[in-house]
Amino acid sequence: MSHQSVDVDLLVDDTVAVGPPPPPRSRGRVGIAVLAVAAVVVALLAWPDASTPEAGPAEGEVAQLPVPDDPRLLPWPARGPYASDEDFLAQATEAWRTQASVVSPADVPGGEAYGLWAGTIGTNAVALLQAVGEDGLLRVAQVSESRRPPDVQPGPLVLTAVEAVTTPPEMLGVVYAGGLDLGYVLDEPGRDVMQVLPAPGLLAEEGVELQRHEYGRFAPLVMQPDGLSQPWVHDPRRFPEGAVVVAVRVRGADPGILAEGLLVPGQVVPGPTPVQLVTPEWGRTSRSTPDNYVDALAALAALGRSAGQVAVLGTAPLSGSRAALLEVRPDGPGSPVVVTVHAAGVRQTVSGPQPARPPTEIALGTVRLAGGPLVVVGAGPPDTDLLVYGADGRPVGTGPRVSAIVLPADEAVSELAVQGYRPDETFVGRSVLTLGEG
């Protein structure tokens, strides 16, 4: 059988390159191949003769099959154009079993393997599979055809990746194994093509989308009809830790991040994101957002860190920008510090660290912008109204639980104070900040 691959938009940083669709081809019959692995002597591996993968009801549609009944497996139905092709999945499972027995015996399936996704990426057939190992732990594997353009005939099925899963993921990565005609895109050392397979139902709700982190922002990932995201090129010089991907409710009740993961080139199972957005001591007031993640990353960078736990005490809009007050938890012994971040588009201005206030009291922070304006941010526990005072006791701002104001550069203010009150006028707490502390 011959089939036409789906045309894709390849995201290279902030640009989009559209390549022509690959020509139709026939997968043919699979023969004998040798899998070479560095520092490992690998025997000749034989794949059984089998027919070409058969697509589902229509090329490119997302087939959905029953969920495995083993509670140790991910409750995901097989998806993708080849999800119902038992012959192809059997070939992929045999490739996993045979090759893992040589290079990684602990990762050999201990029983039946189940498809997670099967289809083509560019011109190569790919299968994501899951099975329980002999040790009782879940394994997720990717098996891919090894042919790369401009080769005409498909190569053998190769075990591209296999990993143990301890915590059920909300998404999986897809390891690029060739098949796209990218020209010189991957000539830069370390660059790789990445895609995401979200968990079934993660994006089913209207207003929920996948986004990936770029500098100073999160950008939406477009989903393909086959269930994968569109591919993008990952540049390790810009993001050495990997690609942070989140599922976000952008519309509807309780907007914010629903799931997150760090996708690393060459791995299918995501890890924890470098920034851990944790709940403030006074409790959760809203769901974390991609902007919170970006602000927390800036706060950590100001302290010379690239990862850690950050509690967003509050964020408030300003004209054409936003201001946030964040508590950065220590990396080891020490005390938390409060950092103020002002973001206008992708430009961020970050204050120095200030001592954190007691968790039940009011937090206050400032950051000086280029040209001299002073951004003042106050935040308090839920159901708190704030009053911000200058050194002379004159109110300079008032607002809800999180309030941000901008004082002009020519306004002489040496000290600021913020007081919080409940709706019944019960006093909550007070913080005083002498300018020069932050």
Instruction: Report pLDDT digits (tens) over 194-219.
Output: 999 999 999 999 999 999 998 789 99
Give the pLDDT score at 214. Answer: 87
Q: For residue 62, what pLDDT band results from cuts at 50, 70 and 90?
A: very low
* CA 201 centroid distance within chain: 17
What CA dihedral angle connects 70, 73, 78 and 79, to 10 degrees? 150
Strand partners, 151: none
What pLDDT sits at residue 238? 86
Comparing CA positions, the residue from 306, 311, 421 lying closest to residue 356 is 311
Query: Is the predicted pLDDT of residue 153 greater than 80, yes or no?
Result: no
Question: Is the torsion defined by CA of 62, 63, 69, 70 positive or negative?
Answer: negative
More confident residue, 45 or 137: 137
| Adjacent-strand bridge partners of 418 | 388, 431
Residue 305: Cβ-neighbour burial (10 angstroms; 0-12, 13-18, 19+): middle
d(CA 54, CA 39): 37
Q: Does residue 355 have a pLDDT over 90?
A: no
Give the pLDDT score at 299.
95
Q: Please check the confidence at residue 7 and state whether its pLDDT lies above 80.
A: no
Contacts of 393 (CB under 8 A, 6+ apart): none
Residue 109 has pLDDT above 60, yes or no: yes
CA distance 344 to 319: 9
Kindly report the number of other CB atoms within 10 A of residue 237's CB atom: 9
State how far the Cα of 397 lies from the Cα of 336, in Å rounded to an integer: 26
CA distance linking residue 234 with residue 185, whole number of Å: 10
Amino acid sitting at position 428: V
pLDDT reported for residue 107: 97
Q: What percent of the chain has pLDDT over 70?
A: 82
Q: Give residue for tokens 């691959």.
A: 5
Which residues have C-beta within 8 Å of that of residue 50, sequence separation ≥ 6?
29, 30, 87, 88, 90, 91
Q: How remote is the C-alpha of 342 from its chain's centroid?
A: 23
Question: Whole-number mean pLDDT of the chain?
Answer: 83
pLDDT at 327: 95
pLDDT recorded at residue 64:
54
Q: Where do runs of H (alpha helix) occur along 226-335? A: 290-302
**What pLDDT score was predicted for residue 54?**
52
What residue has token string 């302290």?
A: 303
Q: Looking at residues 128-155, what average pLDDT do you find?
A: 86
Higher pLDDT, 58 or 289: 289
Question: pLDDT, tens digit, for every residue of 380-427?
Answer: 998 899 999 887 788 888 889 999 999 998 887 788 999 999 999 999
Measured in whole angstroms, the distance separating CA 314 from the mean position of its chain's CA atoms is: 23
Q: Would you say residue 189 has pLDDT above 90? A: no
| Best mean pLDDT range from 8-22, 313-327, 384-398 | 313-327
> Above 90 in pLDDT, residue 53?
no
Domain ranges across the chain: 2-188, 275-434
Is pLDDT above 70 for 249? yes
The reported pLDDT for the residue numbered 144 is: 95
